[in-house]
Amino acid sequence: MSNSEVPQPQQPQQPGAEQPGAQPPVTQPPVTQPTAGNVPPAGYQPPPAYPQPGQSYPAPGHAYPQPGQAYNQPGQPGGFRFEMPTDGPRNFNDVMPKAGFSGMFSVTGLPTELKVSYWIWLIGGMLGVLGGLFGVLGSLALFVVAPGLAVVVLLLVLVALALAAAQIVLVLKMKEGKEWARLALTIVAGVSLVLAVLGGSVGGGGMGQGIGNNWLGFLISAAATVLMWLPNSQAWFNAAKGRA
Return the pLDDT at 234: 92
Banded pLDDT at 194 (limits 50, 70, 90) = confident
Residue 28 has pLDDT above 70, yes or no: no
Q: Range with the lowest mean pLDDT among 24-28, 121-125, 190-194, 203-207? A: 203-207
Main-chain phi, psi angles of 145, to 5 degrees: -90, -50
The whole-angstrom separation of Cα 170 and Cα 168 is: 6
Q: Fill in the DSSP letter of residue 230.
A: S
How many CB atoms within 10 Å of residue 161?
Answer: 20
3-state helix, strand, coil in the chain (%, to 5): 50, 0, 50
The whole-angstrom separation of Cα 158 and Cα 134 is: 11
Return the pLDDT at 141: 87
Residue bearing the bigger pLDDT, 9 or 199: 199
SS3 of residue 217 by DSSP: helix
What percentage of residues in the chain have a pLDDT greater than 70? 58
Query: Average pLDDT, stretch 181-190?
Result: 91
What percentage of residues in the chain have a pLDDT greater than 90? 22
Taking Cα atoms as reference points, which of 109, 122, 10 lies closest to residue 64?
109
Return the pLDDT at 105: 86
- Domain range list for the chain: 109-239
Return the pLDDT at 218: 79
Tens of pLDDT, residues 54-76: 554 454 444 545 544 444 444 44
Tens of pLDDT, residues 127-165: 889 988 888 888 888 888 888 888 988 998 898 888 889
Query: Average pLDDT, stretch 4-33?
Result: 55
Tens of pLDDT, residues 71-105: 444 444 444 566 788 877 888 788 888 877 777 88
**Secondary structure (H, E, C), 2-30:** CHHHCCCCCCCCCCCCCCCCCCCCCCCCC
Residue 203 has pLDDT above 70, yes or no: no
